[in-house]
Amino acid sequence: MLIGTTLAACTGKSNSDNPFFQEYTNEYGAPPFEQIKNEHYLPAFEEGMKQHQAEIDSIVNNPEAPTFANTIEAMEYSGELLNKVSTVFFNLQSAETNDEINKIAQEVTPKLTGHSDNIYLNDKLFQRVKTIYEAKATLGLNPEQERVLDKIYKRFVRGGADLNDEQKAELREINKELSSLELTFGQNILAETNAYKKFVTNKDELKGIPENVLAAAAEAAKKAGKEGQWLFTVSKTSFIPVLQYGENRELRKELLLAYANRCDNNNEYDNKEIINKIMKLRVKKANLLGFESPAAFILDNTMAKTPEAVYSFLDKVWQPALAKAKEERAELQKLMDAEGKGEKLEPWDWWFYTEKLRKAKFDLDEEQLRPYFKLENVRKGIFDLTTKLWGLQYEKLEGMPVYNPEVEVFKVTNADGSYVGLLYTDYFPRPGKTVGAWMSNYKEQFIKDGVNHRPIIVNVGSFTRPIGDKPSLLTMDEVETLFHEFGHALHGLLANSTYPSLSGTNVSRDFVELPSQVMENWCWEPEVMKTYALHYETGEVMPKELMDKIQLAGTFNQGFVNTELLSAAILDMDYHSMKEVKDIDVTAFEKASLDKIGMIPEIIVRYRSPIFKHIFEGGYSAGYYSYTWAAVLDADAFQAFKETGDIYNPTVAKAFRENILEKGDSDEPMKLYHTFRGADPNPDALLKKRGLK
């Protein structure tokens, strides 16, 4: 399809100034970011929806009997222009937004929702799909074709295709309102995050905080026009070191509560009423589609299948995690008591006394490690790891179009020189970027007319910035996050599916975290650390003594880590297990959820409801458990390497690539895992790994 020609025929005028209406001239098909302006988005969205609808109408009105090729494949490869503009816009809306982009998002999101409903509530189209689905046993389809047919059929049914006209109209309104509410929820978090600024004028208030952290805070204050002061924000790279090392208890308290209480301040960015509206609409939608709760509806399309299965799974990990957290609490309180201040452990004390305890138990101070975790070295270590495992090669490309000067671009190839895809990396926080880390794509892999269209993947993070002559020196958590997100990138880069909807990370939520989390297993292996843990000034490898301490401290503070994480997963499930459309008091609901499971007050749930972006905007509703679910898979998968005595074992690596990384959603997730591992995953591997058994 020649997009420019099609557009000219539709509009009768030239649109040569809009880059979305042209073929990208870059040899890799990369977006020309330097040419894209905000005014280009709406016309491209409008024309993209128009063209896509025309393609759908052509399928619906095809006088020939429905076939896999003229209906299912035609749908899979439709919407080229719409996909082209959507991938750029929504990636930048997360990583490089501004007020104008946010306004465009508010305008276009309900239209896109309506456009999707026009497809999946189209009865004539559904009847064509249904005819093929009911005859699939006679069509001689290959496994991938069967999978995409099942996926599209289920998408129609779950999208309301079996509803009557009145119900369909009701569903359209629900979807439209939900899309706007979810978008506003995320925009409120970004606005509230950017709004908080804590300026400190007296350095005596900053005792204990490492000099590199103070230098970053001083630089931030200078940029904000407050030279000679120190600026702290609710970005984790800014406030977490204060929680770990700051002797000023009141400052620790202020920063932690500012972070945890975002969008819960009864101001214009408060998200509590938005949550109330979202949940009423989600319950209404689930009931309309024949499910008793949103969780039942969502989980019907996952590995877990039912809310009962998720609750049962979470409880098995929650009980030992909570017990471990209580042991840790007692140890930390003992440390506080020894100081003779008569203070009781509070959430803003946990990080601070944990660092003291880490030092006492293992003679390990995380600040000792930072000089060995230069970001570029860690990334190269990951590159080297994937070269050893799968033969991947990386070439940094200069002069490529990027959306921010900090973005870097790498060409990825196989050992034989064949092209794999492009990888963009964008690692540092800034006001226009959502807090956190993620992987996404600007182009998905698929095969059409015998051509394997290779992907364009991006890894985004919010890591410690370079300051002056000092490079970005990562914390242990940031090192793990870099490995984690690179696992997602590999899932996208190595994808090898025929159909776009089966490609890469287009898998169920409780399977998508396997490729990312398995990468974390290599992170602290001494063999791997020797390739990246190099002192940023001397280039010397981290001493064995320090590496040994990291190994010894491997299960340290895991009660806290798992309690914080699992409580959020249970809170998510409690919201989405609601069966009735009713008003809820969000604050009371959250408290009741945490009280029910015996959450100790010294730990704050990882995401309080008003900032729980994963479940109220990010697609992880009734799915936050998947991080722990996939952790069972990743611990067991890494054992496949460990059992051979070689963490780079080429046979196991090949099997993991061919059966997991390349397959995407081309078969049932557990079937893919079985093919790789030869057995069900063993949950004990996770409990042992985390020191909970």
Q: What is the set of active-site residues?
A: 485
β-pair type (446-448, 393-396): unpaired
What are the counts of helices (DSSP H) followed by strands (DSSP E) for the chain? 28, 9
Cα within 13 Å of Cα(273), Cβ side: 6
Rounded Cα distance, 546 and 115, in Å:
56
β-pair type (451-453, 446-448): antiparallel
CB 185 within 8 A of CB 617: yes
Rounded Cα distance, 457 and 412, in Å:
10
CB 393 within 8 A of CB 399: no
The two structure tokens encoding residue 447: 């095969």
DSSP letter assigned to residue 296: H
Q: What is the 3-state secondary structure (H, E, C) of 348-398?
A: HHHHHHHHHHHHHHHCCCHHHHHHHEEHHHHHHHHHHHHHHHHCCEEEECC
Q: Residue type at 127?
A: Q
Name, in order, each residue with C-beta under 8 angstroms of 230's C-beta and a sequence gap of 6 or more: 199, 200, 203, 206, 214, 217, 218, 220, 221
Rounded Cα distance, 589 and 608, in Å:
11
Scan for tokens 């997602």, then name that residue: 488
Name, in order, each residue with C-beta under 8 angstroms of 334's C-beta and a sequence gap of 6 or more: none
SS3 category, 425: strand
Name, in order, each residue with C-beta under 8 angstroms of 424's C-beta and a sequence gap of 6 or more: 402, 407, 408, 409, 410, 442, 456, 457, 458, 459
Scan for tokens 């497809």, then name that residue: 119
Cα within 13 Å of Cα(655), Cβ side: 16
Scan for tokens 């995953």, then name that residue: 681
CB 90 within 8 A of CB 130: no
DSSP output for 472-508 = -B--HHHHHHHHHHHHHHHHHHT---SSGGGSTT-S-
How many other β-carbons are positioned within 10 Å of the β-carbon of residue 398? 6
CB 506 within 8 A of CB 664: yes
